[in-house]
Amino acid sequence: MARQNAVITGWGFYAPAKVMRNSDFEKLVDTNDQWIFERTGIRERRFAGPGESTSTMATSAARSALAKAKLKAADLDLIIVGTCSPDYLFPATACLVQSAIGADRSGAFDIEAACTSFVSALSVANAMIVAGTVRNALVIGAETLSRFLDMTDRSTCILFGDGAGAVVLEGSNASVGIESAVLRSDGSKGELLYVPAGGTMHPADQSTVDARQHFIKMAGNEVFRLAVKSMVDAAEEALSLANVALGDIALLIPHQANVRIMDAVAKRLHFPIEKVFVNVQRYGNTSAASIPIALCEAVEQGRLKRGDKVLLVAFGGGFTWGASVLEWYGEHDWDRATLSPLDIAARKLGDLVDRVRPL
């Protein structure tokens, strides 16, 4: 198989219907809308309803992304779900999605790098496409963190939300694609943001439940400080690897954890805040889902056109962080099911124009 670039040809997201406003938390803990909004930028977030889970939301996002890409599930080679809130310890959430959408010849596995999971999954899928191992991949970020929130801990319960975002990544002869991917980690800081029990170190028993050890624990201040520094470092490295100047970036899509983190990252990079996509006010921190949901909304709002350079940057538990520069491809205007020789010729011509464009 000839070496190809990986381009995003489909995208979609799902946000559960149940809206949790800041005022809803005033009834649960000692907090208020003003404190939450001023310290985080969050006004509301979505919580999964009964019967909804990471796999059901991922499946909805996946269906939208496949429809946009005009790709049949049966033609998928690979499904990767980035999540730290899977339906089960195993099977992988990606396998549940594979079955739900009927991707009968697809491989499927999960990637867990907390809020960096989507950027990590995208990097792996890109590498597999470029290497010729697969032709295409469905890359999903999906989380149901509401099920791991301690509703008596005001410093964490107000931050997180549920949702899923998905993209279809395909091999293409186009010159655009994913131009760089940087992944970093520091496991020595794991306990600054984690769920202590339920794994093999502290299996679930009555004492772990009584001690509320199955909920997210976080040292917010330290996470904040390291998030800003790490996201700036990763962004600069991804730009340098891609040989792209910051001034050429049309849109920065950071992980949506806290508006103050995003502001600080933009300020340290000397990047205009108008070119930073922010939707944390409506979804809170949806962890692995935040970047793909933001990407979908950016496209919906007409903020990306073919050839635009996009910088994705994430930070999360682990600690993990990473960044990726990509050139937006977007919607293609051909229908695979009825691809005629003329259509194929037109596609080839489009790809050729793309290839000679930078010369």
Active site residues per annotation: 115, 255, 285
What gap in Å lies between CA 141 and CA 114, rounded to an integer? Answer: 10
| Nearer residue to ligand COA within complex by CB, 39 or 189 | 39
Stretch that binds ligand COA, among 124-132, 217-225, 270-278, 345-353 (CB under 6 A): 217-225
| Nearer residue to ligand COA within complex by CB, 39 or 306 | 39
Torsion of CA 267, 273, 276, 277, to 10 degrees: 130
Q: Which of 115, 119, 228, 234 binds ligand COA (CB under 6 A)?
A: 115
Q: Which of 53, 55, 123, 285 binds ligand COA (CB under 6 A)?
A: 285
| Nearer residue to ligand COA within complex by CB, 165 or 171 | 165
- In the region spanning residues 79 to 108, those forming contacts with ligand COA, defined by CB under 6 A, are none
Q: How many residues bind ligand COA (CB under 6 A)?
A: 20
Binding mask 288-327 for ligand COA (x = CB under 6 A): ---------------------------xx-----------
- The least distance separating ligand COA from the CB of residue 229, rounded to whole angstroms, comes to 13
> SS3 string of the chain?
CCCCEEEEEEEEEECCCEEEEHHHHHCCCCCCHHHHHHHHCCCEEEECCCCCCHHHHHHHHHHHHHHHHCCCHHHCCEEEEECCCCCCCCCCHHHHHHHHHCCCCCEEEEECCHHHHHHHHHHHHHHHHHCCCCCEEEEEEEEEHHHHCCCCCHHHHCCECEEEEEEEEEEECCCCCEEEEEEEECHHHHHHEECCCCCCCCCCCHHHHHCCCCCCEECHHHHHHHHHHHHHHHHHHHHHHHCCCHHHEEEEEECCCCHHHHHHHHHHHCCCHHHECCCHHHHCECHHHHHHHHHHHHHHCCCCCCCCEEEEEEEECCCEEEEEEEECCCCCCCCHHHCCHHHHHHHHHHHHHHHHCCC
- The least distance separating ligand COA from the CB of residue 115, rounded to whole angstroms, comes to 4
Residue, CB closest to ligand COA: 220
- The least distance separating ligand COA from the CB of residue 219, rounded to whole angstroms, comes to 8
- The least distance separating ligand COA from the CB of residue 174, rounded to whole angstroms, comes to 33
- The least distance separating ligand COA from the CB of residue 34, rounded to whole angstroms, comes to 9
- The least distance separating ligand COA from the CB of residue 163, rounded to whole angstroms, comes to 15
| Nearer residue to ligand COA within complex by CB, 154 or 184 | 154
- The least distance separating ligand COA from the CB of residue 171, rounded to whole angstroms, comes to 31
Type of residue at 70: K
- In the region spanning residues 1 to 60, those forming contacts with ligand COA, defined by CB under 6 A, are 31, 35-36, 39-40
Does 227 bind ligand COA (CB under 6 A)? Our answer is yes
Planar angle of CA 350, 125, 299, nearest 5 degrees: 55
Stretch that binds ligand COA, among 47-55, 152-160, 328-336, 351-359 (CB under 6 A): 152-160
Stretch that binds ligand COA, among 55-63, 76-84, 126-134, 215-223 (CB under 6 A): 215-223
Half-sphere exposure of 225 (CA within 13 A, CB side): 5
**Which residues are near ligand COA by CB under 6 A?**
31, 35-36, 39-40, 115, 154-155, 158, 218, 220-221, 223-224, 227, 257-258, 285, 315-316
